[in-house]
Structure 1
Amino acid sequence: MRTGLNNCERSGNKGPRARGAFPRAYDTGGVIRYDALDALPVRGALPGLNDALEGHGTAVLVAPPGTGKTTLVPLALAGLLGEGAARRVVVAEPRRIAARAAARRMAWLLGEKVGGSVGYTVRGERVVGRHARVEVVTTGVLLQRLQRDQELSGVDVVVLDECHERHLDADTVAAFLWDVRETLRPELRLVAASATTDAEGWARLLGGAPVVEATGVSYPVEVVWAPPARPVRPPHGMRVDPALLAHVASVVRRALAERAGDVLCFLPGVGEIARVAGQLGDLGGVDVLQVHGRAPAAVQDAVLAPAARRRVVLATSVAESSLTVPGVRVVVDSGLAREPRVDHARGLSALATVRASLAAGRQRAGRAGREAPGAVYRCWTEAEDARLPRFPAPEIKVADLTAFALQTACWGDPGATGLALLDPPPSGAMAAARSVLAAVGAVDSAGRATERGVRLTRLGLHPRLGRALLDSAAVVGGERAAEVVALLSEEPPREYGDDLAAALRAARRGGDAYGARWRAEVRRLRGVATEISRPPAGVEGRPASAGEDGLVGLVAALAFPERVAKADGGSYLMVSGTRAETGEGSGLRGAPWIAVAVADRPLGKGHARVRLGAAVDEGVARLAAGTLAQTRDEVHWADGDVVARRVERLGAVELAVRPLKNADAGLVREALLEGLRQDGFGLLRWSADALVLRQRLAFLRLRLGEPWPDVSDDALHARVDEWLEPELGRARRRADLGRIEAGQGLTRLLPWASGDAGRLDELAPERITVPSGSRIRVDYGNPEQPVLAVKLQEMFGLQESPAVAGVPLLVHLLSPAGRPAAVTADLASFWKDGYKGVRAELRGRYPKHPWPEDPAGAEPTRYTNARLRR
């Protein structure tokens, strides 16, 4: 592999390696820009990288941004710089903009146009010549290629660029390639390349691959903390506080005034870029450029080329590491990023605005020190910086895994258990993904890919959208199906509105950048739809009179069957069970049914908000969500009684309801049990004796334990079969519960088998005889210590408090009028110390009753003094 260039080579047009002097296999057809190649610091790492690949077949290349890892390394590995074997190299980039830019840069270094020795392929666009030796692709394109040709025939080396970003497609590609190398093609060489990455983790993943590091030329970057003067609201979903965006615009102006050079400003998304651009207005001699994945190719090219005028470049995270923007000396960092999130409970997936990680912050700041000393203005406090996450969340941990699950199923590993992944997929997310795939017929009951699933992987679409394209094209026409799916694959601008049919009309007439991308995707999908589409069963003749809006709704409903929703009480209820609301002035308001394509959950709201959807009718709803349709008997407890009905449902949405007579006895029983759980055992008939029996049993359970039964509500529910049958089995409604004698049921729980049931009255008597001869009821309401309430005179002569099951009763001594006079659990102590005070207080009030000075030796009585004298 080439490690240095002599003076003749650097001139580009002299000596034995001037143009035309290469052997035909190495002739690039242009003038190689050796001066630019020589300036790339990664050149020093090429010998080590070559040795690693020769000896091990895999390598991890760690090289800072701007060192040439994306451009020089693939050219060297392909043998296009004059030495080394001629190889075919595929470079996988996470983004389309990065793939195009890398191919253009490599072609420029070779003195060629793209499509010669270097080409690129992204979704919907392929510029690759017959003799190309380096092809730059997106990871999504490479995934599709691997599914069609697992051996990756004709490819000698694969470079996985920007591994640190941990995009799901990139992790999947890496796992598949390692599988290919291990089982089919041990000669395939793999390079995991990144500016900053978990090098050791990737090395383990690639079978103990050597780690090759390249040193870069970096300049000092001064950090300027520039937080807003007043607190701003944290991001929520896709929402960013406008006050923060206004502050970012002011910091950009400050940076322009305080520093020289171009300014690169990082913002989370396209909408925020547009708003900040609008707030910057005319900066007078300074161009404002907007860079993101949706930007027109002309704008992307302009950003990546040197400029005569000073520039402010507003960019998403695409500019963190994938692209080099020349002339930048200042970075303004909003501190925000977008990551995918899935709300499995509501069946919604979308991008969410989050705080950018420390690693992202370092990457962004480094852009200011690529060519000279620079500065980064961070729009948060230094104290906040310490609390930021270290790294961005790997997509496999937070993203919708439906496409991933289909990829692994088609690969032959439905659970992804045998794949070399840095992080395993969460089991809950995989289960949700398999559910979606089963609903669209992409996998069978065992999770294996069906023939339909294999076709879906080849569309370059999310499986939902692929299903919609396949099933609708033969019904609504390939052109219209492609148009709607293209709209769904890249959410249209907000100004298009939330009505998908209206958005389609806007896209057709729109001359904006979105419209151009949309038309290109329509052309791609139209060709695919024509080749492989087929109508779903039962829909062939349906749309004859549906009208355009209805046909658009059909496509959307087929893509998102569980989000078909019926108007219900001022909002919409999706068949998934999630409620959604339309915004003010929505074109969908008033539609009896809609298909929700895009939704989010606003801050503080319990319902989702529809951001894009289409009006449909019940027929389309039944067709699209047919796998969720069912008719079943529902018997449950509601409004205090058993409700029995036959319900036709589409998921959570009720379509038709009618009363059910002669409901299944088992269902009725379960409804009655639910009633007892909700409203309590008070629904049964409790006589006074039954209530006392339950209290006595609770006391014995607490004091003696087994074999005395637990009669708490939970325990009674657990043993309902033992004590409420057969009465419960004969009940059909609430009134029947009221006729069940609870006390009779409780006697069934007594420990008859052990013989202890016969000791109930001995251990916890309902009444006890006091010294006067009266039989007084014991109150077991407090199982810790039962109470005996008795007139004081009836306890004369008793030295010790009465006890049950070894527990002294708490004696409430009453006045002759039955009012509490004293409370004691120790009668002997009371007679000695407490009685004198009670006697002094009550003898004057009740002079007809005996109040002896020595109650412990007195005769107990129920009577007055006069009665005693007779």
Structure 2
Amino acid sequence: MIRPRPEGLALPVAAVVPALLAALRERGRAVLAAPPGTGKTTLVPLLLAAEFGGRVLVAEPRRMAARAAARRMAWLLGEEVGGTVGFTVRGERRVSPATAVEVVTTGVLLQRLQRDPELAGVGTVVLDECHERHLDADTATAFLLDVRSVLRPELRLLAASATTDTAAWARLLDGPVVEAEGVLHPVAVRWAPPPRPVRPPHGMSVDPALLEHVAATVRRALGEQEGDVLCFLPGAGEIARVAGMLGGSGAEVLQVHGRAPAAVQDAALRAGDRRRVLLATSVAESSLTVPGVRVVVDCGLAREPRMDHARGLGSLTTVRVSRAAAEQRAGRAGREAPGTVYRCWPEAEHARLARLPAPEIALADLTAFALQAACWGEPDAAGLALLDAPPPGALAAARTTLRGLGAVDAEGRATDRGRRLALLGLHPRLARALLDAAPEAGAARAAEVTALLSEELPSAYGSDLAAAWQRARHGGDPYGARWRSEARRLEGALRSSTPRHAGGARDEAATSGTGTTRPGDSRPGGTAAGGTGAGDSRPGGTAAGGTAAGGSRPGGTAAGGTGAGDSRAGGTGAGGGRLSDDAVAGLVAALAFPERIARRRGPGVHLMVGGTAAEVAGGIGEAEWIAVAVADRGAGRAGARARVAAVIDEDTARQAAGGVLSSCEEVLWRDGDVVARRVERLGAVELGTAPLRRPDPSALRAAVLEGVRAEGTGLLRWSREAEGLRQRMAFAHRVLGGAWPDVSEEALRERAPEWLGPELATARRRADLARVDAGAALNRLLPWATGEAARFAELVPERIEVPTGSRVRIDYTGEQPVLAVRLQELFGLRDTPSVAGVPVLVHLLSPAGRPAAVTADLASFWREGYRAVRAELRGRYPRHAWPEDPATAVPTRSVRPRR
């Protein structure tokens, strides 16, 4: 008999439990909207188990909340955890045959659904804190709705939210909303912005001035208010820095975050012997009540996932909190009594905050989600009941990654290898690294390095993965203890995930097991639990970072999947002890992130296989090859910053990223000439080259064309005649238009195949282009087809005949054609010459060939300007003719003989 203590039955949510039970009895699904502190997490599951029987599964988004909820419910029953109430989180399980209420993380729930979609023995599933919109919770909800519709229509579903924004959940579950009244005490708001402007957050960077202000605000709150202080900060690094600033405050300072030891997390949920300051991340926003808290100090920042799909870089970034999150945080101060919240930003900025936080599915790396969906029988996720559809680009990138891992086939269906990866309880990349490194490194060492990568390393561990591994082995810090526990879990999961003919439920704490029939298996396009049979059906027979079954590589083991004939079972494998620790660290990192394998390009800079440059600090940056395990790319930066990396050699690089290893003939224009070579590449990284003696003629032509378009027509030989032809053609195009071609630099580059066709076909290098007569080639652009080209010399002549019979070249370089001729040769010419109807600009030269006058109207010049020129030059050049009336004089090229 489940009978909570009287204080539990007095919780506010108890008033709406009859309506909630009636809704679940009638519809089988409902949404509970209950403010924090009302008992929705602790009392409701107990009453559901008492009313309906069958095990009640309560899914929490965080391990801390799952353990705390189980302990609180056990206390309400006067029991210890593991009896009527138990919990299962990653690496820890406390349940018994008597357990009626089991609290699990949403990740564990997903693992259990993949192994046993029917959830045998479970009568009700409660999805707690659904308003937080974690991706695992959204995915689990979709799977559970599938289970109800196909396998278990009697399974009851309850979505519990700490907010009243439940309309979307009600539509999704097709169930009623039951609202509980809260007993939140009034919370006074104190606006406490920094005294001086601080830099906005950038990536993982937070202005130290803001942290100093937050610490000062905590001290202020301790002096002005009673009770414990709960201070929200974005991450563990900021928590540690602020904790260091609070020495001598007189209060006990607790650091509460996902990486904190379980003992510290549990201590935060118990009343202390003296006044406390709890420095917490968002994990404390809406979990169980923290006793004694009367004050909240909110820095206004949070961490959200971001994914750069083009570069394959995922990371956390610091963002401003939403108004909804700010209200959730403030509410922590009013759970037990009136309280106060200090908000470290100006009141005027509050209204500009986003109303709600973005759902994780819209921001995060979707690789794990895509694998879950594929294993469920929904490769494109189109049939899943999700509040928000996954972004198409992000889902496509995730499926591409999974194909590279050999986790899905060409149609996106899960392979046997993919199901094994999914059951290891890791991101698929890390699962691949663990699975494929174990045969060479040994299960224990592969698990240890994978455990390092499964959680953010403390900054004190440095950027060298191998050195961090040694520090974790010998360190006695809380991280080291968690790491050792996770490494043991992964080693056990690796061994127990070996394919077996007979399956059965296994311990979710090890997140391992075999598949059973799924709801998706009965859908069109679904896949059977047995997968694709003995052979791995990876596209093209290879995986990114692997080779087809039976293939070989340096080192002797196929880096890819568990294809036909692959006898790997997750054990030590042949030669598991051959590799040094440094080599093991590099191998695991390379297998997990093959596109981040990088080769040195210069001091402190490496080029990654994916094509992105990475800045690498410290001694590791001097290595020729590295595998970047953790990287980020700040806003506005083209390159990435490697935060954790391991040294590898070229053989390991080839082994891990074999799927993007290629060899090709390359003929291109580079560094001012044609380069023809055979190139071996690992993605964007060049491994080696050899000259290509007989390049393909079409490739040569394309390379020469690329050179002309890149460097311009200056590569050709331009004689004076060729330059003049181009100027005349430009004039014809400008004045006559129509079929007369544009010969500007841009146009000639674009139409190079048309006018340089034969030359492009025979040129092999820059020197060949330098011998090309540009003028002869330009002639091909004239409008020969219409016949107009035959009139080109008439319409736009190269020279004009003057009265003396001389043929004088016309200069077409300016806007108006220019005729430069000695003045005496134009005597008797009354009208100004013209070209294509445009009067030429006549430059009248002195006998020495220097400009004496410029005119576009000869008749006017003879009347008005000639006298002044005659007066100035007649004495200087007495032997030349200077008639009174030049308009009627006889033109001459000669001088008068001497007397």
TM-score normalised by length of structure 2: 0.84
Matched, 1:266 2:232: yes
User: Is residue 32 of structure 1 aligned with residue 4 of structure 2?
Assistant: yes
2:609 alignment partner, one of 557, 563, 575: 575
Could you tell me which of 187, 207, 217 is aligned with 1:251?
Answer: 217
The answer to whether the aligner puts 1:224 opposite 2:205 as a matched pair is no
Partner of 1:709: 741
The alpha-carbon distance between structure 1 residues 845 and 579, as it changes in their structure 2 partners (threshold 3 A), is same
Q: CA deviation at 1:838?
A: 4.7
Matches within 5 A, 1:800-815: 804-805=835-836, 808-809=838-839, 811-815=841-845
User: Given that residues 61 and 192 in structure 1 are in contact (C-alpha distance below 8 angstroms), is that contact kept between their aligned partners in structure 2?
Assistant: yes
3-state SS of paired residue (1:405): helix
1:393 counterpart = 2:364: no
**Could you tell me which residue of structure 2 aligns to residue 616 of structure 1?**
648
- What is the deviation of 1:32? 1.6
In structure 2, do the counterparts of structure 1 residues 593 and 688 end up closer, same or farther at CA, with 3 Å as the change threshold?
Answer: same
1:305 maps to 270
Q: Hey, what does 1:724 align to over in structure 2? A: 756
Aligned equivalent of 1:85: 52
Q: Which amino acid aligns with 1:811?
A: L
Deviations along 1:711-736, one digit per CA (max 9) or x if unpaired, are 44454444433322222111111111
Which residue number corresponds to residue 369 of structure 2? 404
Q: Secondary structure at the match of 2:157?
A: strand
8 A contact 1:470–1:532 mirrored in 2:
no
Matched residue type, 2:400: S
Q: CA deviation at 1:258?
A: 0.9
Structure 1 stretch displaced more, 835-844 or 174-183: 835-844
Q: CA deviation at 1:226?
A: 1.9
The match for 1:440 among 377, 393, 405 is: 405
Superposed CA deviations along residues 27-73 of structure 1, whole A, max 9, x for unmatched, are: 12xx5223333232x33444554455455544333332222222233
CA displacement 1:466-512 (0-9 Å, x = unmatched): 01111122221111111111111113322223222222222222222
- 753-762 vs 240-249, greater mean Cα deviation: 753-762
Contact map agreement 1:103 1:119 (CA 8 A) in 2 = yes
- Give the CA deviation at 1:332: 0.8
**1:227-242 alignment to 2 at 5 Å?**
227-242=193-208
Residue identity in the other structure for 2:96: G
Separation in 1 of the partners of 2:622 and 2:444? 29
Distance 2:287 2:89 in 1: 15
Equivalent position of 2:585 in the other structure: 552
For the pair 1:682 / 2:709, whether they are aligned, the reply is no
1:312 and 1:611 map into 2 onto residues whose CA distance is 31
**1-structure distance, mates of 2:220, 2:496:** 56
Check conservation: 2:831, 2:859, Cα contact below 8 A.
no
Q: Secondary structure at the match of 1:844?
A: helix
Q: Any residues of structure 2 matched to 1:21-170 within 5 Å, and which? A: 27-28=1-2, 31-40=3-12, 42-50=13-21, 52-54=23-25, 56-76=27-47, 78-80=48-50, 84-170=51-137
Distance in 1 separating the partners of 2:726 and 2:105: 72
* 1:281 and 2:247 correspond: yes
Identify the match of residue 213 of structure 1 among 165, 174, 179.
179
Query: Which structure exhibits the higher relative contact order, with contacts defined as CA atoms closer than 8 Å and separated by 6 or more residues?
Result: 2
Query: In structure 1, what residue type is equivalent to 2:790?
Result: G
- CA drift of 1:414 comes to 2.7
Partners of 1:669 and 1:729 within 8 A in 2? yes
Alpha-carbon contact 1:342-1:399 (below 8 Å) kept: yes
SS in 2 for 1:748: helix
Task: Give 1:797 shift.
Answer: 8.2
Could you tell me whether the CA contact under 8 Å between 1:812 and 1:821 is conserved in 2?
A: no
Q: 1:93 to 1:697 in 2, by over 3 A?
A: farther
In the superposition, relative to structure 1, how do residues 531 and 666 fare at CA in structure 2: closer, same or farther (>3 Å)? farther
With over 3 angstroms needed to count, the CA separation of the structure-2 counterparts of 1:397 and 1:791, relative to structure 1, is: farther
Go from structure 1 to structure 2 and tell me whether the alpha carbon gap of 1:269 and 1:840 turns closer, same or farther (over 3 Å shift): farther
Residues 390 and 761 of structure 1: CA distance in aligned 2, closer, same or farther (over 3 Å): farther
Unaligned runs of 5+ residues in structure 1 are 1-26
Measure, in 2, the Cα distance between the counterparts of 1:256 and 1:199. Answer: 37
Q: Which amino acid aligns with 2:122?
A: V
Partner Cα separation in structure 2 for residue 485 and residue 264 of structure 1: 34
Which has the higher mean CA deviation after the structures are superposed, 332-341 or 687-696?
687-696
> Structure 1: how far apart are the matches of 2:14 and 2:770?
89
1:842 and 2:869 matched: yes
Q: Which moved more, 1:505-514 or 1:485-494?
A: 505-514
The whole-number CA distance in structure 1 between the counterparts of 2:883 and 2:373 is: 95
Alignment of 1:499-578 (within 5 A): 499-532=464-497, 538=552, 539-540=556-557, 545-571=578-604, 572-578=606-612
Judge conservation of contact 1:772–1:860 (CA < 8 Å) in 2.
no
Contact 1:158–1:189 (Cα < 8 Å) also in 2: yes
3-state DSSP class of the match of 1:428?
Answer: helix
CA distance in 2, matches of 1:485, 1:114: 31
1:11 is matched with none
State which of 169, 173, 181 in structure 1 corresponds to 2:140.
173
Tell me the equivalent position of 2:632: 600
Number of positions where the alignment pairs a residue of Structure 1 with one of Structure 2: 825
Tell me what 2:396 maps to: 431
Distance 2:851 2:386 in 1: 76
Cα pair 2:439 2:575 within 8 Å, conserved = no
TM-score of the two chains, using structure 1 as the length reference: 0.87
Contact conserved, 2:713 with 2:748, CA < 8 A, in 1?
no
Cα drift, residue 363 of structure 1: 1.6
User: Alpha carbons of 1:795 and 1:613: their partners in 2 closer, same or farther (altered >3 Å)?
Assistant: same
1:192 aligns with 2:159: yes
Greater mean alpha carbon deviation, residues 657-666 or residues 386-395: 386-395
Q: Which amino acid aligns with 2:627?
A: A
Contact 2:825–2:893 (Cα < 8 Å) also in 1: no
CA separation in 2, counterparts of 1:182 and 1:824? 94
Q: Against the structure 1 CA distance between its residues 295 and 779, is the aligned structure 2 distance closer, same or farther, given a 3 Å change threshold?
A: same
Q: In structure 2, what residue type is equivalent to 1:266? A: F
Root-mean-square deviation (CA, aligned residues, Å) is: 3.3
**C-alpha distance in structure 2 between counterparts of 1:860 and 1:54, whole Å:** 122
Tell me how far 1:452 sits from its aligned partner: 0.8
Give the conservation status (yes or no) of the 8 Å contact 1:795–1:860: no
Q: 1:328 to 1:647 in 2, by over 3 A?
A: same
Cα distance in 1, alignment partners of residues 305 and 119 from structure 2? 30
- Cα distance in 1 for residues equivalent to 2:171 and 2:854: 77
**2:424 corresponds to 1:495:** no
Give CA-to-partner distance per residue, 1:806-836, whole Å, 9 cap, x none: 5x346254453666677777x4xx966x888
Cα pair 1:500 1:612 within 8 Å, conserved: yes
CA distance in 2 between counterparts of 1:51 and 1:837 reads 113
Verify: 1:746 aligned to 2:775, yes or no.
Answer: no
Give the superposition deviation at 1:619: 2.0
Give the match for residue 348 of structure 1.
Answer: 313
Match for residue 7 of structure 1? Answer: none
Where do 5+ consecutive residues of structure 2 fail to align? 500-545, 558-573
Q: How does 1:326-405 map to 2 (within 5 A)?
A: 326-405=291-370
Distance 1:148 1:841, change over 3 A: farther
Shift in alpha-carbon separation, 1:236–1:709, aligned structure 2, 3 A: same
